Structures are given as C-alpha cells and as structure tokens.
Structure 1
Amino acid sequence: MKIYFATLALLSLAACEAQPEGEPVVRTRIDGKEGPASAAPPTDPSATVASSVESACRSIIFENTPLTHCLAIPSRHTISMDLAPDGQPPYRSLSSFAKSRDPETIAFAMNAGMFDEEGNPVGYFVEDSERLKALNTAEGEGNFHMNPNGVFYGTGGEWHVRTTADFLANVSERPEFGTQSGPMLVIDGKLHPEITRDGPSRLTRNAVGVDEQGRAHFVISNAPVSFGKIARFYRDELSVKNALFLDGNVSQLWNPATERLDQGAPIGPIVVVKRKASQ
C-alpha cells in the first residue's frame, strides 16, 4: 500500500542556514490586543475570542517564525485519539470532526500522526484502549522511518513521549490512547542526531512533547519552519526533554475558543484535548 507522508523530503545533512544566537522568544496575545502574553496559559477571560472559556493556545514568535503553542494540563484536560465515526471511514478533516463534537467541551484538536492513502495510521494507534494498529518497527523511507521515531501515549492524566525502542522495551500495558510518528525531535534533552540547525526543508509542521510536570505541549507552525527550529523551541524554550514530530504540510488545528478551524489536505489520526467538566 502506498503511504502518504506530508513531509517525504529527508532531513538534509548539508550545511545549514545561520541563525542569530540567543534570540529571545517574542510572545503576542492571541486576541490581537496590546501587551505581551505570559508564557503560561491565559487566565484572563478577555484573552478569548469566541466564548467565555479561556484558550489553551497562544501565538508565539520564535526566531522570526510564528508558532501556535497549545498546552494540555492533566488537572484541566483529558487527551484522546479519534480516527473515524463508528463503523465509518476516517474523518480526513478537522471540519468534518468538528461537526460531530460540542465545541464547548473541546480545548483543541490537531492532526496526530502519519497515515496511508485511506487516512489510516501507518504506526501504532490506540483509541479508547483499543489497539487499531500495531507498533511499526519496519525499516523504510521518509520521516516516519527516520530513527529514532516515537510514540505519544497516555492513560488518565499520565502522558508520555518515548522512542519506539523505549516504548517496546518498557511499556507492557496498553494505554488509553497512543499514536506513533517520526522522527523524534528531542530525545532525553538532545536534538535528533540527524536534524541540522536549519535544513532546507521548510513546511507547516506540528509536534508534541511532554515536560517534567507531565504537561503536553502541542506546537503548530503558522509559516514554513525547519525541523531544527521547531526542535530547538521544544528543547530551549519549553524545556521538554522528549518531543515527537507529528506531521507537516497537512498540519491543522481546531481551537474553538478563537474560532480557528484549519482547512487543508486530508489528514488521518486526530488528537483531541477536552476540558474537564469543572473547567
């Protein structure tokens, strides 16, 4: 079966474009009002656009590239995977998925891994504790097979990112959710060994990482970005020791609080971050 990867171009090992050292992150309010936004999720209801519920996402400029950073916190949110309505083909778009959900319950949703021509995951995928696809340890071409790749998974409020080899060796119980993608961006605090500082491949990309407090950081670029830059953002600005690339070019976000609902090429698996009932 032919596999569609949104970022089939291999990461270049050639000389990379120079970037200024130590350039600070500039954060902008997601509602476009004056004044800086804090690094933590906004607590001021005025920071929302579409509702009285605060947005879990904020706009950030990192090394002159606009990013959106969405934060899931175990005490406030739940995480799950969704691929398709019961007994039907995959959603293939966030707009189709959004029609089936109450936006007041959704903090945000994002594409969550690579897929084949029908939109089915090419790697490990668990939804509602049911394994729909086994762990993929095969060799191959493309970003998914650029080892080490990895798995984002969790049960309840315990969320993790591990390399595929680490997951295979140390995770024996099936989680409530899981998705496999690749490559890893950050591994034990170090950048993937084949990622250059700023290689020539520039696409809209998204990724996920979990920090030492157990919070899941989702990032999607709002302009073409290199692997190196998004990996540095996780390592240097978010202090995330393990981060996983999800996809590129098809990367999309639904953030009901700001009425952002991205359109684009067909997607596959979807990660869903919901607000807990008390939030």
Structure 2
Amino acid sequence: MHRWLTILAAGLLGAPISAQALSPDSACRKVEHLGSSYTACTFDPAQDNIRLFSTDSGGKPYGSFKTLRDSLKRDRLALRFAINGGMYEPDQSPVGLYIELGSTQKALDTGTGWGNFRLLPNGVFYIQPGSVGVMETKAFAASGIEPLYATQSGPMLVIDGAFHPSFLIDSTSLKIRNGVGVAADGKAVFVVSDSPVRFHDLATLFRDVLTCRNALFLDGSISSLYVPEWQREDSAFPLGPIIGVTSVAPD
C-alpha cells in the first residue's frame, strides 16, 4: 500500500519543489520538511465554499471522490478540491462528532480506548460561515460553538501551539498521514504526506512551517486527495466523511 502511494506521489512530484505552488494560482503546493515531501492545500473560508459530505440524499455513503463529484454536477456545482474528512466505522459512518448543514448526525465522542482516535486529546475541525477552526474535544464541548459543519478525529497534532504530549521525535511508526490546521491568517490548511512520516514530523510542519497553532490528524494510510488541476484523484480506498471545496459549475 505504501509502495502504491509512493509511486503515485513520485509521478506527481517530479523534481523536488520546496514550499512553492506548481502554478501561480494553485491552492496546492509541494512542501519539503525534515527530508519528506508533503502536499499542502490552503483555502480561505471567507471566499471558498468549504464543507463536509457524508451521504447522498438517499442516505448512501458517497465513498469516493468520483461519486461525490458526479452528484454535485447534478446540482450544477464543481468539486474543486477534496480530502478524506476523518475516521469512520466499517459502514463508512463517522467515528465521532459529525455535523452537516447544522444537523448533528453523530454526537461528540469523549470516551477513552485504543487507536489513533482515542490517543487523547483528540479534536474537532469545524466550519462556520466565513471561518474555520480546530479545537481540542473538551474545549469544543465547553465552547458552546454551534457550527454549520464539524468532524471529530484524533489525535490533535498541535494544541494552542504545543505538540501532542505522546509524540516522539524518534518514533519508528512511519505512515502516510494527513491532517488539517488553521493558519495564522485564519485559512484552512490541508496536508497529505507523500511518503510515510511520524506524527511528530507532521505536527512540526503544521506549527513551524504552516503557522498553525492548532492542527488535527485526519487519518493514516487511507489518506486520499482530489486535486483536479493536477489530475490527481486518489481512489484506492473507500471513504467515510469527505471535506470538499465547491464552486458553481461553468455553463
């Protein structure tokens, strides 16, 4: 699996590019950090329509970028960007909190247990009209925020400028990983590693390179990205929640 993703990344990368967009108007760019390459895509919630998708009108999980894209076309919308939006159960339903169009489809999960989701503290990525946020789960629960969209995942990568306390700089756990953070200017930054990396590496990228004081891990080896201007549409794994950026489709 890692070999497949590495080959795909190599085809997209070509020569290494450090913190530089592949085209002047691209929302996405390649970033080199600690010897690894990442794809980072930045969107402004004041201008870009960032939202979450889980199931179609019939309650069936979209499951793939293609299915979502085709569905949006029928509503005269174009899918400009998409990324897997958090962990999910075998039936592709969200593991933790999931809010869509202001409706809570799954409640906030504050339990303990095994796995990345419960490597506490975990957190919530939420979307409000004109703004986005990433917040640790207990802080979110106490905040009274009622977002338009939200997805819970874990662990948190960066919490108010500090790294998750469980991360090790010399960890031997190397996996494809992706996450979301909020930059100092309030923009949403989505990142997918192009090769296996440590949690610590991803966290330092968000905080020290991408200026995110809060960042959340979305998932590991199933990390998937849709960037049509790069002709990239990952489809190796079924997906649960999807974070997408849409626009009105041209006539």
What's the TM-score bracket when you normalise by the shorter of the two chains?
Answer: 0.7 to 0.9
Q: Amino acid of the residue matched to residue 98 of structure 1?
A: R
CA separation of 1:276 and 1:129: change in aligned 2, threshold 3 A: same
- Other structure's SS at 2:186 match: coil
Query: Which of these residues, 66, 71, 75, is aligned with residue 42 of structure 2?
Result: 71
Count residues with an aligned counterpart: 237
Aligned to 2:162: 190
Q: How many Å apart are 1:173 and its aligned residue?
A: 4.2
Mapped to 2, the partners of 1:201 and 1:31 lie a distance apart of 24
The gaps in structure 1 that reach 5 residues or longer are 1-29, 45-53
Structure 2: stretches of 5+ with no match in the other structure: 1-11
Decide whether aligned partners of structure 1 residues 230 and 38 sit closer, same or farther in structure 2, where only a CA change above 3 A counts.
closer
CA contact (8 A) 2:17 2:31 kept: no
State percent identity of aligned pairs. Answer: 39
Kindly indicate whether the alpha-carbon contact (under 8 Å) linking 1:94 and 1:252 is maintained by their aligned counterparts in 2: no
Deviation per CA, 1:236-275, whole angstroms, max 9, x where unpaired?
1011100000001111001111111001122210001224
Q: What is the CA RMSD across the aligned residues, in angstroms?
A: 2.4
Cα separation, 1, equivalents of 2:224 and 2:16 = 27
By percentage of residues, which structure has more helix?
2
How far off its partner does 1:168 sit?
0.5
User: 2:240 aligns to what SS in structure 1?
Assistant: coil
Letter in 2 for 1:191: F
When normalised by structure 2's length, the TM-score is: 0.87
Given the alignment of the two structures, is residue 96 of structure 1 paired with residue 96 of structure 2, yes or no? no
Partners of 2:248 and 2:137 in 1: CA distance:
30
Q: 2:26 corresponds to which letter in structure 1?
A: S
Contact 2:124–2:152 at 8 Å: present in 1 too?
A: yes
Asked if structure 2 preserves the Cα contact closer than 8 Å seen for 1:55 and 1:258, the reply is: no
Mapping of residues 26-41 of structure 1, within 5 Å: 39=20
Q: Pick the aligned partner of 2:220 from 245, 248, 255.
A: 248
1:109 match:
82
Q: Which residue is 2:57 aligned to?
A: 86
Distance in 2 separating the partners of 1:183 and 1:38: 25
Is the Cα–Cα contact under 8 Å of residues 121 and 268 in structure 1 kept in the other structure?
yes
